[in-house]
Chain A
Amino acid sequence: MGFPDRIERTVELAAAPSKVWAALTTAEGLGAWFGDEATIDLRPGGSARMKWAGGHTADMRVERVEEPSVFGFTWHIYGLPEGDPRRTYVEFTLEPAGAGTRLRVVETGFAQLPEDMYHKAYDGNTQGWASELGELAAYLDAA
Protein backbone atom coordinates (compact mmCIF):
# COMPACT_ATOMS: atom_id res chain seq x y z
CA MET A 1 0.00 0.00 0.00
CA GLY A 2 1.41 3.35 -1.02
CA PHE A 3 -0.36 5.39 1.61
CA PRO A 4 2.02 5.94 4.54
CA ASP A 5 0.36 5.94 7.94
CA ARG A 6 3.60 5.88 9.87
CA ILE A 7 6.93 7.65 9.64
CA GLU A 8 9.84 6.27 11.59
CA ARG A 9 13.42 7.45 12.00
CA THR A 10 16.23 6.41 14.29
CA VAL A 11 19.26 8.53 15.00
CA GLU A 12 22.34 7.76 17.09
CA LEU A 13 23.35 10.68 19.25
CA ALA A 14 26.61 11.19 21.14
CA ALA A 15 24.85 12.89 24.06
CA ALA A 16 23.57 10.94 27.07
CA PRO A 17 19.82 10.25 27.35
CA SER A 18 19.41 12.93 30.03
CA LYS A 19 20.77 15.58 27.64
CA VAL A 20 18.59 14.34 24.79
CA TRP A 21 15.58 14.27 27.11
CA ALA A 22 16.17 17.91 28.00
CA ALA A 23 16.48 18.85 24.32
CA LEU A 24 13.12 17.19 23.59
CA THR A 25 11.07 18.24 26.59
CA THR A 26 12.14 21.71 27.67
CA ALA A 27 11.22 25.04 26.13
CA GLU A 28 14.90 25.90 25.84
CA GLY A 29 15.71 22.63 24.10
CA LEU A 30 12.76 22.61 21.69
CA GLY A 31 13.29 26.26 20.86
CA ALA A 32 16.92 25.59 20.00
CA TRP A 33 16.67 22.77 17.47
CA PHE A 34 13.03 22.30 16.48
CA GLY A 35 11.25 25.62 16.59
CA ASP A 36 12.71 29.09 16.89
CA GLU A 37 10.98 29.46 20.22
CA ALA A 38 8.91 27.11 22.33
CA THR A 39 6.78 26.76 25.43
CA ILE A 40 5.86 23.49 27.11
CA ASP A 41 3.82 22.31 30.06
CA LEU A 42 5.46 18.93 30.54
CA ARG A 43 2.71 16.64 31.81
CA PRO A 44 0.19 14.41 30.06
CA GLY A 45 -2.53 16.72 28.78
CA GLY A 46 -0.26 19.76 28.96
CA SER A 47 0.16 22.06 25.99
CA ALA A 48 3.26 22.93 24.10
CA ARG A 49 3.77 25.35 21.29
CA MET A 50 6.57 25.98 18.88
CA LYS A 51 6.97 29.08 16.78
CA TRP A 52 9.10 29.71 13.76
CA ALA A 53 10.48 33.01 12.56
CA GLY A 54 8.33 32.74 9.43
CA GLY A 55 5.20 33.07 11.59
CA HIS A 56 4.29 29.39 11.50
CA THR A 57 3.28 27.82 14.81
CA ALA A 58 2.66 24.25 15.93
CA ASP A 59 0.45 23.47 18.91
CA MET A 60 1.07 20.19 20.62
CA ARG A 61 -0.68 18.28 23.36
CA VAL A 62 1.65 16.31 25.58
CA GLU A 63 0.52 12.68 25.90
CA ARG A 64 3.31 10.57 27.43
CA VAL A 65 6.04 11.68 29.79
CA GLU A 66 8.23 8.84 31.04
CA GLU A 67 11.56 10.43 31.83
CA PRO A 68 14.06 9.70 30.40
CA SER A 69 12.80 7.19 27.89
CA VAL A 70 9.43 8.08 26.32
CA PHE A 71 8.00 11.43 25.29
CA GLY A 72 4.84 11.54 23.19
CA PHE A 73 2.60 14.30 21.89
CA THR A 74 -0.11 14.83 19.30
CA TRP A 75 -0.29 17.68 16.87
CA HIS A 76 -2.35 18.94 13.98
CA ILE A 77 -1.99 17.24 10.60
CA TYR A 78 0.02 19.43 8.30
CA GLY A 79 -2.16 20.87 5.54
CA LEU A 80 -5.56 20.14 7.05
CA PRO A 81 -7.71 23.14 7.91
CA GLU A 82 -7.14 24.85 11.24
CA GLY A 83 -9.49 23.30 13.76
CA ASP A 84 -9.69 19.93 12.01
CA PRO A 85 -9.77 17.48 14.91
CA ARG A 86 -7.51 14.90 13.31
CA ARG A 87 -4.00 14.77 14.70
CA THR A 88 -0.94 12.64 14.34
CA TYR A 89 0.83 11.12 17.33
CA VAL A 90 4.57 11.59 17.70
CA GLU A 91 6.53 9.42 20.09
CA PHE A 92 10.21 9.78 20.90
CA THR A 93 11.88 6.76 22.47
CA LEU A 94 15.32 7.14 24.03
CA GLU A 95 17.60 4.18 24.70
CA PRO A 96 21.14 4.32 26.04
CA ALA A 97 23.68 3.33 23.37
CA GLY A 98 27.18 3.25 24.81
CA ALA A 99 27.68 6.71 26.33
CA GLY A 100 25.17 8.14 23.88
CA THR A 101 21.54 7.67 22.96
CA ARG A 102 19.61 5.87 20.29
CA LEU A 103 16.65 8.12 19.58
CA ARG A 104 13.69 6.82 17.65
CA VAL A 105 10.86 9.02 16.46
CA VAL A 106 7.62 7.49 15.23
CA GLU A 107 4.79 9.61 13.89
CA THR A 108 1.54 7.77 13.22
CA GLY A 109 -1.95 8.61 12.07
CA PHE A 110 -1.47 10.10 8.61
CA ALA A 111 -3.99 7.71 7.12
CA GLN A 112 -6.51 7.94 9.93
CA LEU A 113 -9.99 8.65 8.79
CA PRO A 114 -12.98 8.50 11.05
CA GLU A 115 -15.32 6.00 9.41
CA ASP A 116 -18.05 8.54 9.01
CA MET A 117 -15.87 11.42 7.86
CA TYR A 118 -16.25 10.77 4.18
CA HIS A 119 -19.98 11.34 4.29
CA LYS A 120 -20.99 12.86 7.60
CA ALA A 121 -18.23 15.35 8.20
CA TYR A 122 -18.53 16.91 4.81
CA ASP A 123 -22.30 16.82 4.68
CA GLY A 124 -22.42 18.11 8.25
CA ASN A 125 -20.23 21.02 7.27
CA THR A 126 -22.31 21.75 4.24
CA GLN A 127 -25.50 21.66 6.24
CA GLY A 128 -23.86 23.64 9.00
CA TRP A 129 -22.95 26.41 6.62
CA ALA A 130 -26.33 26.33 4.94
CA SER A 131 -28.08 26.67 8.29
CA GLU A 132 -25.66 29.33 9.58
CA LEU A 133 -26.14 31.38 6.45
CA GLY A 134 -29.90 30.82 6.69
CA GLU A 135 -29.83 32.10 10.27
CA LEU A 136 -27.81 35.10 9.22
CA ALA A 137 -30.29 35.83 6.43
CA ALA A 138 -33.21 35.45 8.86
CA TYR A 139 -31.48 37.75 11.36
CA LEU A 140 -30.86 40.39 8.69
CA ASP A 141 -34.41 40.09 7.38
CA ALA A 142 -35.81 40.67 10.85
CA ALA A 143 -33.64 43.75 11.42
Chain B
Amino acid sequence: MPPDIEAIAEQVFVALADPTRRAILAALASAGPATATDLAGRLPITRQAIAKHLALLAEAGLVTAEPGERRRVRYRLRSAPMQVAQQFLAALARDWEGPLDALKDRLDQHAHGPTATPLREIRGHSP
Protein backbone atom coordinates (compact mmCIF):
# COMPACT_ATOMS: atom_id res chain seq x y z
CA MET B 1 0.00 0.00 0.00
CA PRO B 2 1.50 3.38 -0.92
CA PRO B 3 2.40 5.19 2.31
CA ASP B 4 0.48 8.36 1.57
CA ILE B 5 -2.99 6.80 1.30
CA GLU B 6 -3.86 7.34 4.91
CA ALA B 7 -2.61 10.93 4.73
CA ILE B 8 -4.84 11.49 1.70
CA ALA B 9 -7.86 10.00 3.46
CA GLU B 10 -7.15 12.12 6.52
CA GLN B 11 -7.13 15.31 4.44
CA VAL B 12 -10.51 14.37 3.01
CA PHE B 13 -11.98 13.77 6.43
CA VAL B 14 -10.52 17.03 7.78
CA ALA B 15 -11.97 18.88 4.80
CA LEU B 16 -15.39 17.29 5.26
CA ALA B 17 -15.45 18.03 8.99
CA ASP B 18 -16.14 21.69 8.23
CA PRO B 19 -19.66 22.63 7.08
CA THR B 20 -18.47 25.51 4.88
CA ARG B 21 -16.00 23.27 3.06
CA ARG B 22 -18.66 20.60 2.66
CA ALA B 23 -20.93 23.22 1.10
CA ILE B 24 -18.16 24.33 -1.29
CA LEU B 25 -17.34 20.76 -2.33
CA ALA B 26 -21.03 19.95 -2.74
CA ALA B 27 -21.49 23.02 -4.94
CA LEU B 28 -18.52 22.03 -7.13
CA ALA B 29 -19.74 18.43 -7.32
CA SER B 30 -23.28 19.34 -8.30
CA ALA B 31 -22.73 22.31 -10.60
CA GLY B 32 -19.19 21.86 -11.89
CA PRO B 33 -16.16 24.16 -11.83
CA ALA B 34 -16.73 27.63 -10.40
CA THR B 35 -14.83 30.77 -9.39
CA ALA B 36 -14.69 32.03 -5.81
CA THR B 37 -17.07 34.79 -6.87
CA ASP B 38 -19.55 32.28 -8.33
CA LEU B 39 -19.48 30.33 -5.10
CA ALA B 40 -19.92 33.46 -2.97
CA GLY B 41 -23.04 34.22 -5.01
CA ARG B 42 -24.48 30.77 -4.39
CA LEU B 43 -23.51 30.14 -0.79
CA PRO B 44 -24.24 32.20 2.32
CA ILE B 45 -20.52 32.79 2.87
CA THR B 46 -18.29 35.80 2.18
CA ARG B 47 -15.94 35.69 -0.78
CA GLN B 48 -12.98 36.08 1.61
CA ALA B 49 -14.02 33.04 3.62
CA ILE B 50 -14.55 31.06 0.42
CA ALA B 51 -11.10 32.02 -0.88
CA LYS B 52 -9.55 30.88 2.39
CA HIS B 53 -11.32 27.51 2.29
CA LEU B 54 -10.54 27.03 -1.41
CA ALA B 55 -6.85 27.58 -0.67
CA LEU B 56 -6.99 24.88 1.99
CA LEU B 57 -8.89 22.52 -0.31
CA ALA B 58 -6.38 23.12 -3.11
CA GLU B 59 -3.52 22.42 -0.72
CA ALA B 60 -5.19 19.12 0.20
CA GLY B 61 -5.59 18.23 -3.48
CA LEU B 62 -9.39 18.22 -3.27
CA VAL B 63 -9.80 21.02 -5.79
CA THR B 64 -7.53 22.24 -8.56
CA ALA B 65 -7.26 25.79 -9.78
CA GLU B 66 -7.49 26.34 -13.51
CA PRO B 67 -7.64 29.44 -15.68
CA GLY B 68 -11.22 30.51 -16.32
CA GLU B 69 -12.80 33.23 -18.40
CA ARG B 70 -11.70 36.85 -18.01
CA ARG B 71 -8.54 35.76 -16.20
CA ARG B 72 -10.45 34.47 -13.22
CA VAL B 73 -9.34 31.31 -11.46
CA ARG B 74 -11.87 28.53 -11.57
CA TYR B 75 -11.88 25.67 -9.09
CA ARG B 76 -12.64 22.14 -10.06
CA LEU B 77 -13.35 19.21 -7.75
CA ARG B 78 -10.72 16.45 -7.73
CA SER B 79 -12.42 13.17 -7.06
CA ALA B 80 -9.34 10.98 -6.62
CA PRO B 81 -8.78 11.76 -2.91
CA MET B 82 -12.51 11.19 -2.27
CA GLN B 83 -12.18 7.72 -3.77
CA VAL B 84 -9.28 6.97 -1.47
CA ALA B 85 -11.36 8.04 1.53
CA GLN B 86 -14.25 5.99 0.18
CA GLN B 87 -12.13 2.85 0.25
CA PHE B 88 -11.49 3.49 3.93
CA LEU B 89 -15.22 3.96 4.52
CA ALA B 90 -15.98 0.83 2.51
CA ALA B 91 -13.92 -1.26 4.92
CA LEU B 92 -15.80 0.23 7.85
CA ALA B 93 -19.15 -0.22 6.15
CA ARG B 94 -18.62 -3.86 5.17
CA ASP B 95 -20.72 -5.63 7.70
CA TRP B 96 -19.90 -9.33 7.94
CA GLU B 97 -21.48 -9.75 11.37
CA GLY B 98 -25.00 -9.47 9.99
CA PRO B 99 -24.66 -12.01 7.17
CA LEU B 100 -22.65 -14.47 9.28
CA ASP B 101 -25.24 -14.33 12.06
CA ALA B 102 -27.94 -14.94 9.44
CA LEU B 103 -25.98 -17.91 8.07
CA LYS B 104 -25.57 -19.34 11.55
CA ASP B 105 -29.26 -18.92 12.31
CA ARG B 106 -30.27 -20.56 9.09
CA LEU B 107 -27.95 -23.54 9.47
CA ASP B 108 -28.89 -23.91 13.14
CA GLN B 109 -32.58 -24.03 12.23
CA HIS B 110 -31.84 -26.86 9.83
CA ALA B 111 -29.64 -28.59 12.41
CA HIS B 112 -32.53 -28.58 14.90
CA GLY B 113 -34.26 -31.30 12.91
CA PRO B 114 -34.93 -34.62 14.76
CA THR B 115 -31.79 -36.40 13.49
CA ALA B 116 -29.38 -33.54 14.03
CA THR B 117 -26.78 -33.42 16.77
CA PRO B 118 -27.76 -31.05 19.58
CA LEU B 119 -25.93 -27.75 19.29
CA ARG B 120 -24.49 -27.72 22.78
CA GLU B 121 -22.44 -30.86 22.12
CA ILE B 122 -20.83 -29.31 19.09
CA ARG B 123 -20.12 -26.04 20.80
CA GLY B 124 -18.39 -27.98 23.60
CA HIS B 125 -15.69 -29.13 21.14
CA SER B 126 -12.58 -27.11 20.78
CA PRO B 127 -10.14 -29.07 18.64
Contact = CB atoms under 8 A, between A and B. Distances in A.
A and B co-occur in one complex: yes
B5 A110 contact: no
Contacts of A99: 117, 121-122, 125
Given A100-B122, A118-B80, A19 B88 contact: no
B111 to A, nearest CB: 5
B103 interface: yes
Contact of B96 (A7, A80, A84): A7
A72 B60 CA distance: 37
B87 interface: yes
B80 A1 contact: no
Contacts of B108: 13-15
A97 B103 CA distance: 17
Contacts of B2: 113, 115
B34 to A, nearest CB: 16
Which of B1, B97, B103, B111 gathers the greatest number of chain A CB atoms within 10 Å?
A: B103
Interface in B81-127: 83-84, 86-94, 96-97, 99-100, 102-108, 110-111, 116-117, 119, 121-123, 125, 127
Interface of B: 1-2, 5-6, 8-9, 76, 78-80, 83-84, 86-94, 96-97, 99-100, 102-108, 110-111, 116-117, 119, 121-123, 125, 127
